[in-house]
């Protein structure tokens, strides 16, 4: 009887997933929606047990550069297309160094929590975390007029790493996922995505802008997405993007790029004592990885950063294999399933590895495609304001990069639509 109930539950979950997928018509072209795709449930602690951050009792230090970009420049109308080229159309508004420290925060030995302390130069923080970030006092090599800033948080283990965020919402939107965020390890040692997954329908978006609580205060919620692509052993080198929207109006608030390297554990630094950015930077084994200087495929790098379409960029490649993992959630707060694929040139169905796997066409006018000088690109919606996207139109946030070590290419996409409840699929794809 137990087995029958379990089978019925899995069948019901599968039907729910499929009904949500067909709400967004653009999904029909994706590899994870093909008849050959095989989905299986993901354990509720998968995203916790497969993390690389905060897994040891001592602090693990990362060092990075953060580059902030003004939406007003990214969205200006002086370009002939939606492709924005760094150095030609836009330059960083601010660039600065940051370091972050992570450690396991659990004396019971059960791995139920970890702690994060992030420390920023003034030029690294941009407009990030207003009202939460604070000026740091105990610095080791900074003058008082050039302060460091810090932000700390303790992350607790939850099913699927879903957590509640501060919010103020109309009663009808409580409990649908508008108040929550989740962390998804899309590919262990390869890719992580975090942020709220819920998107309002156009009708709900209008209601959010008009609603006030009993004290006359406007609605409040967060809408952001953090995308990471990792290279090297144990995520020793990472590139990332943080995209933040106004959770009520849907306007793009800020975009920043992150580049990070893992520092040696024996560096001995403690964020609760004096911090020297110069000393931390001096412990980096290979600074070329931080500035992403040694891209293997110079031709692809040139085509990508000059604004060639992804189709044209890939036609210049010599990729012979493709691997991917997709994770979908039943609701913004719900359970997850996974699907994997591996292809090689010459295999059945893989004769055109490139053309069948590129970004979905359409809705380009609603997205911007930012090309960075170091072989990274970022494709994001210009806005979630009411009317920008139809309720059944696909919305996509996408981060991709040329790989440093093997001449390959990888990317992560977070996709969904308003009608399905938001971003319900995260997919990591890698070409070699």
pLDDT in tens, the chain (432 residues): 444 444 444 444 434 444 444 445 444 468 898 888 899 999 999 999 999 989 988 898 999 999 999 898 888 766 667 889 988 888 999 999 999 999 998 777 789 999 999 999 888 887 766 667 788 766 665 555 567 888 899 999 999 999 999 999 999 998 899 999 999 999 999 999 999 999 999 999 999 999 999 999 999 999 999 999 998 777 889 999 999 999 999 999 999 999 999 988 655 578 888 788 888 898 888 888 888 888 888 888 999 999 988 878 877 777 888 899 999 999 999 999 999 998 876 544 433 555 455 545 546 788 899 999 999 999 999 999 998 999 999 899 999 999 988 888 999 999 999 998 999 999 999 988
- What is d(CA 357, CA 378) in angstroms, rounded to the nearest whole number? 17
The whole-angstrom distance between residue 335's C-alpha and the CA centroid of its chain comes to 19
359 CB-contact burial (10 Å; exposed 0-12 / middle 13-18 / buried 19+): middle
Percentage helix, strand, coil, to 5, in the chain? 20, 35, 40
What is the DSSP-derived secondary structure letter of residue 402?
E
* pTM recorded for the entire structure: 0.89
> 91-108 in b/e burial notation, b at 16+ Cβ within 10 A?
ebbbbbbbbbbbbbbbee
Decide: 156 and 382 in contact? Cβ < 8 Å: no
193 C-beta neighbours (distance < 10 Å), count: 25
Cβ–Cβ under 8 Å, residues 359 and 311: no
Nearest to 118 by CA among 92, 136, 98, 135: 98
120: left (phi over 0), alpha (psi -120 to 50) or beta: beta
């Amino acid at each position: 009887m137990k087995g029958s109930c379990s089978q019925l539950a899995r069948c019901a979950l599968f039907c729910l997933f499929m009904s949500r997928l067909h709400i967004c018509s653009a999904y029909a072209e994706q590899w994870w929606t093909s008849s050959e795709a095989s989905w299986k449930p993901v354990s509720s602690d998968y995203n916790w047990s497969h993390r690389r951050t905060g897994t040891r009792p001592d602090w693990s230090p990362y060092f990075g550069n953060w580059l902030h970009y003004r939406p007003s420049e990214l969205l200006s109308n002086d370009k002939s297309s939606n492709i924005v080229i760094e150095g030609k159309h836009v330059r960083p508004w601010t660039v600065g160094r940051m370091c972050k420290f992570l450690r396991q925060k659990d004396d019971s030995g059960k791995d139920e929590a970890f702690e994060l302390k992030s420390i920023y130069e003034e030029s690294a923080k941009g407009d990030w975390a207003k009202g939460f970030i604070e000026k740091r006092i105990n610095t080791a090599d900074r003058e008082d007029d050039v302060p460091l800033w810090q932000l700390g948080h303790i992350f607790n283990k939850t099913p699927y790493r879903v957590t509640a965020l501060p919010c103020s919402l109309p009663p009808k939107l409580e409990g649908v996922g508008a108040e929550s965020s989740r962390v998804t390890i899309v590919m262990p040692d390869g890719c992580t995505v975090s942020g709220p997954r819920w998107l309002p329908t156009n009708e709900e978006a209008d209601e959010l802008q008009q609603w006030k609580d009993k004290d006359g205060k406007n609605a409040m919620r967060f809408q952001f997405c953090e995308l990471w692509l990792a290279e090297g052993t144990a995520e020793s080198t990472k590139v990332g993007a943080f995209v933040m929207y106004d959770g009520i109006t849907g306007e793009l608030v800020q975009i920043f790029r992150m580049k990070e390297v893992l520092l040696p554990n024996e560096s001995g630094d403690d964020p609760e004592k004096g911090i020297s950015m110069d000393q931390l930077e001096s412990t980096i084994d290979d600074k070329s990885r931080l500035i992403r200087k040694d891209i293997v495929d110079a031709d692809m790098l040139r085509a990508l950063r000059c604004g060639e379409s992804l189709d044209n960029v890939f036609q210049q490649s010599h990729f012979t294999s493709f691997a991917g993992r997709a994770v979908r959630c039943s609701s913004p707060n719900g359970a997850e399933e996974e699907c994997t694929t591996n292809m090689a040139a010459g295999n059945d169905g893989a004769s055109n590895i490139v053309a069948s796997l590129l970004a979905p066409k359409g809705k380009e006018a609603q997205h911007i495609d930012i090309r960075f000088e170091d072989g990274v690109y970022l494709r994001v919606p210009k806005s979630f304001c009411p009317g920008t996207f139809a309720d059944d139109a696909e919305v996509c946030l996408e981060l991709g990069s040329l790989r440093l070590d093997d001449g390959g290419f990888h990317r992560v996409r977070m996709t969904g639509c308003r009608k399905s409840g938001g971003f319900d699929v995260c997919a990591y794809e890698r070409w070699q």
